[in-house]
Amino acid sequence: MKIKVKMIGPLMYEAGFSEKEIDIPAATTAEALLDLVHISKQRPKIMTRNGKAVAPNEHFEDGDKIAISPLYSGG
Amino acid sequence: MFGWTGNILRVNLTTKSSKKESYSQEFAEKWVGGRGFAVKILYDELKPGIDPLGPDNKFIVALGPIAGIPAPNTGKAVVAAKSPLTGFYGDGNLGTRVSEHLRKAGYDALIVEGKAERPTMLYIEDDKVEFLPADEVWGQGTYATNAWIYGKYGKGVGVLNIGQGGENLNRFAVVRSLEGRAGGRPGMGAVMGSKLLKAIVVKGSRPIPQADPAGMKALGAGDLKKVQQIDKETGWSLQSTTGVLAWCNEVAGLPVRNFRKTHHPDAWKIDGERLNDARIATYGCPNCTMRCGITIHDKEGREAELDYENIGLLGANLEIFDLPQVGSLNYLCDEYGLDTMSAGCVLSFYADAIDRGATSGDFKFGDAERAKELLRMAAFREGKLGNLLAEGSRRMAREFGHNSEAYAMQVKGLEVAAYNCKFIPGQALAFGVAAIGAHHREAWIITFELKNTTRESYGPEKAAKVIELQRIRGGMFEFIVACRFPWIELGWPVDNYPKYFNTVTGLNWTLDDMWRTGDRIYSLIKLHYLREFPGVTRKADFPPAVWFDPANADSEGPIAGKVLDAEKYDGLLQHYYDQRGYDRRGIPTKDTLKKLDLVREAAAAEKHALLT
């Protein structure tokens, strides 16, 4: 299935892209997605799915918009 | 006494006199410095009800025990006075070499009283204090003023100055320093302007007294390198604070169209990625190894230094998705010495009021050229409209009528920072209970709310998080006087700061000592507010009414159909009051004040208002 992934802030330089559509296996969890987009699991971050935070074991649906961001703190 | 110089410089512009005053170790340990010194001095020395733009107001520059000492990130100063925007205690911090030079001149704080006869530059060099004419630069912007000062004294001196906004008593005029530093959102620049004080220049040459100077030198130098390394590894300063715009757009937290909308398809045009691509220079504060001032060419080809609040409020909130144009608006605010956040909210409120039919005018969202004219009019108070804009959104709303106050994005008179809390209850609380009005500096809990709690929750855990962050951000960092960014953005451990504090003072403070001092300072700011507004109710701690209005709900996106719930917000506010030990008005109880060693201050407040 296809999802759109957006990298926020410095994560786009780590992942090598800012935003793109990717094909993922249907059983892919949020945690597993990090490997697919080359983001370290150790790095503090927040992942959202269609604007809402996701848990590490959460799955996706076709057409989802995923954003992965560092844990910003409002300056 | 170690860590503190033990001296405050008191200057009177009316009499052109100055006095070096010493203070006790007890005073130092009770109020520490920065915001602590400022709030205590202003509470003791200002009579309630004075005109903030009159000669009775006092302008304070206050530093803390680690200010100016090489360590992460200590090149900051607090500026404070009774605010002409909010009517009670106001302050701000900014990066400046004054932090080092004033301490090296032998002072931890400067109190400026009275009013000069003519435009004046205050020059302080160790024991020397001079009142110099500044007619030559009166009417000039902050860039020209800075250049004029550097031409006289070189670039190494500490400088605070104002632009035309401060001179013309614009109520959201700020104090400026260095290339792009600004502070004192609630009109601290206007207070300087009201005193005809164009600039303060400081040059100090003495060592800052420290309990263990060699230890601090080694600790500070090593930690500056470590912070630099973390920044390099995480890549934070590639986009600095501006990276958060894209995230706010994803989670429906971006201010768009006077906060009516929470996201926009064109937001990417002004985001951190575009800014980094357009970068021509990077500026920062003294003693900083994670510089955050991304500088680009604006529409007119000038250097404009931007951060998130600027692109959020002068860009998205005005629906101006043209980066060089946003740069131009930011440049003009910096040149005139206006707060970019309030300026963005004032202009968006004006466009919204025209849309609603509350007033007439020719300004529309997205019109960058007209926005530039309006900023100039606000800075110079040109005509009726310029005069109105210069008053800030709350006073404008009262002038417009038609329920306009509901759409003025402010709390206690201070405009909201660039986070749209239409459906982010905890952050709405953070704005509601921020000490000086809707500032983001003291608590920012949006990622916490989304990641660790339910967004819909109004539970006590959100109030507890706001208090936890107020103690660190609005408390400790504001009284030891250091930038919070290494801790908050890079995860630099917070317990490093008591370590720095103890190394310079020879004391043995823990974080709990820091929190208690922060609580004392917050309570005294509340007493300031109470003395000025004895009839205060808890409604003062509510965010703008439009965030509670179902008619203002998003029609699509992550929070479609949702707005804040007033009754539940009231409950969240009560959680905050209960945890703080405040009464139902949001004022510290007598018992709380006693626990915080504020008995004398409470007695002073009781002459004007009721304590429970």
pLDDT for the residue numbered B179: 80
Taking CA atoms, B610 is separated from B36, B47, B527, B531, B577, in Å, by 24, 17, 11, 9, 17
Which H/E stretch holds residue B78? strand B76-82
pTM, two decimals, is 0.98
Rg of the Cα trace of chain A?
Answer: 11
Among the partner residues A14, A51, A71, nearest to B235 by beta-carbon distance:
A14
Residue type, A4: K
Please count the helices (runs of H) and the strands (runs of E) in chain B: 25, 17
Say which residues have a Cβ less than 8 Å from residue B229's Cβ, sequence separation at least 6: none
Residues of A in contact with B246 (CB under 8 A): 6, 8-9, 67, 69
Output the six-digit token pair for A9.
């802030």
For residue B148, what pLDDT is reported?
98
Tell me what pLDDT residue B537 has: 97
> Which DSSP string corresponds to B203-271?
E--SPPP-S-HHHHHHHHHHHHHHHHHHHHHHTHHHHGGGGHHHHHHHTT---BTTTTBS--TTGGGGS
* Exposed/middle/buried for residue B179 (C-beta within 10 Å: 0-12, 13-18, 19+): middle
What is the model's pLDDT at position B232?
A: 96
Residue B185 falls within a domain, yes or no? yes
Predicted pLDDT of residue B133: 98
pLDDT of residue A75: 81
> What integer is the mean pLDDT of B54-82?
97
CB contact under 8 A, A10 and B309: no
Q: H-helix or E-strand containing B7?
A: strand B7-12
What is the rounded radius of gyration, in angstroms, for the C-alpha atoms of chain B? 22
At B426, phi and psi to the nearest 5?
-65, -40
Provide the 3-class DSSP secondary structure of residue B72. coil
Interchain CB distance below 8 Å, A75 and B455: no
Chain B neighbors of A69, CB-CB under 8 A? 243, 246-247, 250
Number of structural domains, chain A?
A: 1
Is residue B180 pLDDT above 90, yes or no?
no
**Does the distance separating the beta carbons of B450 and A53 come in below 8 Å?**
yes
Contact yes or no for A32/A44 (Cβ under 8 A): no
pLDDT at B369: 98
User: Is position A42 within any domain?
Assistant: yes
How many CB pairs (< 8 A) connect A and B? 89
**pLDDT tens readout for residues B214-247:** 999 999 999 999 999 999 999 999 999 999 999 9
Q: Please provide the average confidence, as pLDDT, over all residues in chain B.
A: 97
The DSSP string of B455-492 is TT---HHHHHHHHHHIIIIIIIIIIII--SHHHHHH--
Closest CA of chain B from A19, distance in Å: 11
Strand order in the sheet with B281-283: B281-283, B293-297, B303-306
Quick one: average pLDDT of B169-180?
A: 95
Task: Give the rounded percent of residues in chain B with a pLDDT score beyond 90.
Answer: 99
Q: B137, B148 in Cβ contact below 8 A? A: yes
Q: Which of B94, B181, B241, B244 to mutate to test the interface with A (most CBs of A within 10 A)?
A: B244
Is residue A75 in a domain? no
* pLDDT for the residue B586: 98
d(CA B541, CA B67): 32
Per-residue pLDDT, averaged over B122-130, amounts to 98
Beta carbons of A28 and A59 less than 8 angstroms apart: yes
Element (H, E) at B99: helix B98-104
pLDDT tens digits, B496-542: 999 999 999 999 999 999 999 999 999 999 999 999 999 999 999 99
Mean pLDDT of chain A: 95
What are the chain A neighbours of B451 within 8 Å (beta carbons)?
A: 46, 53, 71
Query: Who among A9, A51, A75 is closest to B251 (CB)?
Result: A51
Domain count, chain B: 1
Taking the CA atoms of B396, B398, B403 and B405 in sequence, report the sign of the dihedral they define.
positive
Residues of B in contact with A8 (CB under 8 A): 243-244, 246-247, 250
Residue A35 belongs to a domain: yes
Encoded tokens for B258: 């006077």
| Distance of residue A28 Cα from the nearest chain B Cα, in angstroms | 20
Q: How close does chain A come to B132, measured CA to CA in Å?
A: 37
- The residue of chain A with its CA nearest to that of B244 is A72
Mind telling me how many Å the CA of A35 is from chain B's nearest CA?
A: 18
Q: Do A51 and B440 make contact, defined as CB atoms within 8 angstroms? A: no
Question: Residue range B143-168: average pLDDT?
Answer: 97
At residue A74, does pLDDT exceed 90?
Answer: no
Residue A11: which residues within 8 A CB-CB, separation 6 or more? A39, A43, A45, A68, A69, A70
- From the CA of A26, how many Å to the nearest CA of chain B? 23
Tokens representing B140 are 């000039």
Asked if residue B8 has pLDDT above 90, the reply is yes
- Parent domain of A51: 2-70
Specify the CATH number for the domain of residue A35.
Answer: 3.10.20.30
Give every CB contact of residue B36 below 8 A, 6+ residues apart in sequence: B30, B62, B64, B478, B479, B517, B520, B521
CB contact under 8 A, B446 and A46: no
Let me know if residue A37 belongs to a domain: yes
CATH code of residue B108: 3.60.9.10
B269-277: average pLDDT: 98
Mutation target vs B (from A4, A19, A49, A73; most B CBs, 10 A cutoff):
A73
What is the residue range of B140's domain? 7-203
Per-residue pLDDT tens digits for B447-499: 999 999 899 999 999 999 999 999 999 999 999 999 999 999 999 999 999 99
Tell me, yes or no, whether B429 lies in a domain: no
How wide is the angle at C-alpha B175 spanned by C-alphas B170 and B180, nearest 5°? 115
